[in-house]
Amino acid sequence: MSTSETSRYVRLRVELVLEVGTPDTLSAAALARIVADESMPGDERAHAESAVREDAAEALAYLVEPFDLIKEVPGVELAQASWTSEQIDYDPDAVEWDLDDEDRYDDESDDQDADGDGKGGDRGVSAGGVGTGRG
């Protein structure tokens, strides 16, 4: 692709830290989403159901839809998306959680394929369809 073609694309990074107050409610919602997904193969469905029962991060990964963030934005179309979720130790007063730290995103350490690290859910969407990756 030439520079003029690639300049049409923008990478939007969003980082959220969520507190899960009722894990059972989160798991139930994720299970409902999995059951409703008629395109999910049976073996993947069984694995997904087990994962969301055991891990809030897995459940969250099945409920988050990046398309929902941009569907009402005029003049843009989702070309590709990937996202991961993992359980973390969170201290809002710690320096590493300063959301104004622009140096956190180093181009050399970008995770282009978002394979996850086995700690939580990892899902990806491209113009061709939806895929899930489990680590």
The mean pLDDT of 18-31, rounded to a whole number, is 96
The mean pLDDT of 44-51, rounded to a whole number, is 96
108-125 pLDDT per residue, tens: 444 433 444 444 455 554
**Would strands 80-84 and 122-126 be described as parallel, antiparallel, or unpaired?**
antiparallel
| 6-10, 98-102, 120-124, 126-130: segment of lowest average pLDDT | 126-130
Q: What pLDDT does 32 receive?
A: 97
Q: What pLDDT does 37 receive?
A: 94
Q: Is the pTM of this model over 0.85?
A: no
| pLDDT at residue 107 greater than cutoff 70 | no
